[in-house]
């Protein structure tokens, strides 16, 4: 029995070495995405990964002249699995935040967009202040504080859904914890379903994801309400997550993203998937 | 291993224990009653009762609990108008009751088979002896069959109770913040999965350790026939006569 194990171990070792040797010629970069966050990344009808980030990842890999493998990974384990070296990079609508920077590095951002409220058409919460406005909490803290204070009386006692482990969950925890009941979901689709069913009064999510949902027939009664926010715990734009100290990959991704911004590829892909330009503003 | 952090994790996760135990014991209590009913249906020898019970056990034992939770919560959530009309929406609106329902239905299916096994294993001669003493019907069931069946089913039912305590961790997928839900939240804030899950695992281990001790104590209490009878003290005063 021991012999068998040894033989197996050797074969494994040999094959790993062989693979290592092959990748020296053409580096393979394994990129993780969630696969449940339309239109950023989602699993299409045929079971294949699709979306803005899938197109962008393929484009960036061509620019970096590496072979890419895109895998899907549940959102709430996406950073621990990066650290455990299950893959080398994350492209999953992940915002750069101070908190995440303590653990991982980022290259980019490659896109940015505000976060805000999704409510049902006939809800009193459609009157949340700041409709159509976009406020950066870092640049204009007073305006942000003012609008959040205006939201509080309307939100008092309501139940709000958000995806767990996200900037949105952190925002609710920081600013509205004592005002609303917060429910955390595994995916954005789940809180959409619960809003439509009437289990929760509002959801707090990225405008891009909310907009994509409102275009689906089952969520046609959902609308975006109130101002869209960026900055502070909501982060500084969506970027490629990398292990700390992976300087080579960071500079490769950084250069590739910059060139994709410069030649308009990101604008083009963003308009294809989001119907608006989400190119990060510097 | 960062013990200061693990202590912090422990202090946060114990906040989830009341909900974990609440979900487990509420569903075990409802589930046990339902399981008893199902077991009696299966043993009734009436096809009209036996078949639905068999079908129920087949479906709920044959599908994953996670799928059942999703179907009850998100699936039924899409039939709100119907549930509203039936006056059931107040129940299905709450993730707590959906979790309790799913756990109850699941444990009832497993529990009914355990109870049926216990009932069928009651030795025939004991039933005959009881009949010879003039017992029959409900009295026979209450005094002889049921206590013996419970005693025989208890080890297997104890396992089921432990499985239920662990199964409550699935309620975190429908936003219930029990121990696992809190662990997932803490990992999302600290990205330290190993330490947090070790602490969460240890909490379940301690809970289940206590539960196994309680079940063992009940088993001991129900099995006087397996214990040595207490030695009878010689009566001292008799020696002086």
Report the CATH number at residue A131: 3.40.190.10
Q: Which two tokens stand for residue B101?
A: 């329902």
Nearest Cα to B158, choosing from B105, B111, B227, B224?
Answer: B111
Interface pTM, i.e. ipTM: 0.76
pLDDT-derived band at A211 (thresholds 50, 70, 90) equals: confident
Q: What is the pLDDT, as a whole number, of residue B187?
A: 85
Q: What is the pLDDT, as a whole number, of residue A21?
A: 44
How far does A22 lie from chain B, in Å, by closest CA? 32
Angle between helix A52-64 and helix A247-262 axes, rounded to 10 deg: 110
- Lowest mean pLDDT, pick from A173-182, A261-270, B155-164, B189-198: B189-198
Contacts of A185 in chain B (CB under 8 A): 175
Query: Is B204 a member of any domain?
Result: yes
CA distance A278 to B147: 70
- What is the domain extent for residue A164? 115-234
pLDDT-derived band at B157 (thresholds 50, 70, 90) equals: very high
pLDDT for A13 beyond 60: no
DSSP H or E segment with residue A10: helix A2-25
B82 class by beta-carbon count within 10 Å (0-12 exposed, 13-18 middle, 19+ buried): exposed
- What digits encode the pLDDT tens for the residues B175-187? 999 999 999 888 8
Which of B77, B189, B191 shows the shortest C-beta gap to A80? B191
CA distance A229 to A139: 11
The owner of tokens 């640049």 is A139
Q: What is the pLDDT, as a whole number, of residue B40?
A: 93
pLDDT-derived band at B240 (thresholds 50, 70, 90) equals: low
Q: A44 touching B, CB under 8 A? A: no
CA distance B47 to B55: 12
How far does B28 lie from chain A, in Å, by closest CA? 25
pLDDT for B233 beyond 80: no
Q: What is the pLDDT, as a whole number, of residue B236?
A: 61
Nearest Cα to A228, choosing from A124, A144, A102, A152?
Answer: A144
Query: Is B241 a member of any domain?
Result: no
Instruction: Verify that A208 and A156 share a domain, yes or no.
Output: yes
Contacts of A100 in chain B (CB under 8 A): 191
Nearest Cα to B193, choosing from A83, A85, A173?
Answer: A83
- What digits encode the pLDDT tens for the residues A52-109? 999 999 999 999 999 999 999 988 889 989 999 999 999 999 989 888 888 899 998 9
Contacts of B77 in chain A (CB under 8 A): 193-194, 197, 199
Q: Are residues B92 and B77 in contact, defined by beta-carbon separation less than 8 angstroms?
A: yes
CA distance A87 to A28: 10
- Lowest mean pLDDT, pick from A136-140, A254-258, B125-129: A136-140
Greater model confidence, A11 or B19: B19
Q: Which two tokens stand for residue B26?
A: 């509420």
Instruction: Verify that A142 and A226 share a domain, yes or no.
Output: yes
Q: Which residues make Cβ contacts (< 8 Å) with residue B65, sequence separation at least 6?
A: B102, B103, B106, B167, B170
HEC string for B63-119: CCHHHHHHHHHHHHHCCHHHHHHHCCHHHHCCHHHHHHHHHHHHHHHHHHHHHHHHH
Query: Is B238 a member of any domain?
Result: no
- Report DSSP state, residue A241: E
Instruction: Verify that A126 and A220 share a domain, yes or no.
Output: yes
Query: Is B228 a member of any domain?
Result: no
Query: Is B162 a member of any domain?
Result: yes
pLDDT for A11 beyond 80: no
Average pLDDT of the segment spanning B183-210: 91
- E strands within A121-166? 134-136, 159-163
Average pLDDT of the segment spanning A122-136: 86
Greater model confidence, A40 or A9: A40
Q: What is the CA radius of gyration of chain A?
A: 21
Q: What is the pLDDT, as a whole number, of residue B237?
A: 62
Q: What is the pLDDT, as a whole number, of residue A102?
A: 86
Q: What is the pLDDT, as a whole number, of residue A20?
A: 46
Query: Is B235 a member of any domain?
Result: no
The owner of tokens 């001292």 is B236
Average pLDDT of the segment spanning B201-216: 96
- What digits encode the pLDDT tens for the residues B29-75? 999 999 999 999 999 889 999 999 999 999 999 999 999 999 999 99
Instruction: Verify that A229 and A242 share a domain, yes or no.
Output: no
CB contact under 8 A, A161 and B95: no
CB contact under 8 A, B185 and A194: no
pLDDT for B238 beyond 60: no
Query: Is A76 a member of any domain?
Result: yes
DSSP B114-162: HHHHHHHTS-HHHHHHHHHTT--HHHHIIIIIHHHHHHHHHHHHHHHHH
The nearest alpha carbon in chain B to A75 belongs to B188
Query: Is A15 a member of any domain?
Result: no
Relative to beta strand A159-163, strand A202-206 is parallel
Q: What is the pLDDT, as a whole number, of residue A24?
A: 44
User: Quick one: what percent of chain A has pLDDT higher than 70?
Assistant: 90
The pairs formed by B208-211 with CB atoms below 8 angstroms and a separation of 24 or more are B208/B162, B208/B165, B208/B166, B211/B158, B211/B161, B211/B162, B211/B165
Q: What is the pLDDT, as a whole number, of residue A22?
A: 45
Task: Give the total number of structural domains in chain B.
Answer: 1
How far does B59 lie from chain A, in Å, by closest CA? 25
Instruction: Verify that A227 and A242 share a domain, yes or no.
Output: no
- What digits encode the pLDDT tens for the residues A226-242? 888 888 888 888 999 99
Averaged pLDDT of chain A: 86
A225 phi-psi bin (left φ>0, alpha ψ -120 to 50, beta other):
beta
Contacts of B181 in chain A (CB under 8 A): 184
Is the preceding peptide bond at A109 cis, omega within 30 degrees of 0?
yes
> Looking at the whole model, is its pTM more than 0.95?
no
CA distance A174 to A168: 10
Q: What is the pLDDT, as a whole number, of residue B179?
A: 95
- What is the domain extent for residue B15? 3-223
Average pLDDT of the segment spanning A265-278: 88
CB contact under 8 A, A80 and B187: yes
Nearest Cα to A91, choosing from A67, A108, A66?
Answer: A108
Which of B175, B188, B192 shows the shortest C-beta gap to A185? B175
């Amino acid at each position: 029995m021991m012999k068998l194990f040894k033989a197996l171990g050797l074969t494994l070792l040999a094959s790993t070495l062989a693979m290592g040797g092959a990748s020296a010629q053409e580096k393979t970069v394994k990129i993780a995405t969630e696969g449940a966050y339309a239109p950023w990344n989602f699993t299409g009808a045929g079971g294949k990964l699709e979306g803005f980030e899938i197109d962008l990842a393929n484009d960036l890999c061509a620019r970096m002249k590496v072979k890419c493998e895109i895998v899907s990974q549940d959102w709430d384990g996406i950073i621990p699995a990066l650290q455990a070296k299950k893959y080398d990079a994350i492209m999953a609508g992940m915002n750069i935040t101070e908190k995440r920077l303590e653990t991982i590095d980022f290259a980019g951002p490659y896109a940015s967009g505000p976060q805000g409220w999704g409510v049902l058409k006939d809800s009193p919460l459609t009157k949340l202040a700041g409709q159509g406005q976009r406020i950066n909490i870092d640049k204009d803290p007073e305006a942000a504080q003012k609008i959040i204070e205006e939201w509080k009386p309307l939100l008092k006692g309501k139940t709000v859904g958000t995806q767990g482990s996200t900037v949105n969950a952190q925002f609710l925890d920081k600013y509205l914890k004592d005002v609303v009941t917060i429910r955390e979901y595994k995916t954005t689709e789940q809180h959409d379903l619960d809003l439509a069913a009437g289990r929760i009064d509002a959801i707090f999510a990225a405008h891009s994801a909310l907009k994509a949902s409102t275009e689906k027939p089952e969520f046609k009664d959902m609308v975006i309400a109130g101002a869209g926010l960026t900055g502070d715990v909501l982060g500084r734009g969506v970027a490629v997550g990398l292990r700390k100290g992976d300087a080579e990959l960071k500079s490769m991704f950084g250069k590739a993203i910059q060139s994709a911004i410069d030649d308009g590829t990101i604008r083009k892909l963003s308009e294809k998937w989001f119907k608006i330009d989400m190119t990060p503003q510097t | 291993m960062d013990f200061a952090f693990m202590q912090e994790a422990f202090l946060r996760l114990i906040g989830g224990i009341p909900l974990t135990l609440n979900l487990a014991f509420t569903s075990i209590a409802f589930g046990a009653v339902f399981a008893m009913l199902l077991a009696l249906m299966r043993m009734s020898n009436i096809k009209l009762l036996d078949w639905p019970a068999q079908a129920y056990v087949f479906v709920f034992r044959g599908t994953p609990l996670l799928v059942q939770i999703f179907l009850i919560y998100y699936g039924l959530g899409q039939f709100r108008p119907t549930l509203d009309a039936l006056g059931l929406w107040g129940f299905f609106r709450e993730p707590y009751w959906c979790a309790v329902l799913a756990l109850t239905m699941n444990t009832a299916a497993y529990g009914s088979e355990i109870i049926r096994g216990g009932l069928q294993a009651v030795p025939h001669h004991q039933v005959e002896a009881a009949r010879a003493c003039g017992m029959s019907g409900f009295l026979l069931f209450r005094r002889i069959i049921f206590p013996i069946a419970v005693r025989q089913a208890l080890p297997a039912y104890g396992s089921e109770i432990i499985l239920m305590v662990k199964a409550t961790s699935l309620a975190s997928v429908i936003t219930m913040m029990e121990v696992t839900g809190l662990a997932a939240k803490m990992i999302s804030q600290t990205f330290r999965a190993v330490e947090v899950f070790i602490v969460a695992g240890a909490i379940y281990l301690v809970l289940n350790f206590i539960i196994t001790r309680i079940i063992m104590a009940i088993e001991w209490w129900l099995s006087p026939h397996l214990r040595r009878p207490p030695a009878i003290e010689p009566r001292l005063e008799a020696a002086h006569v």
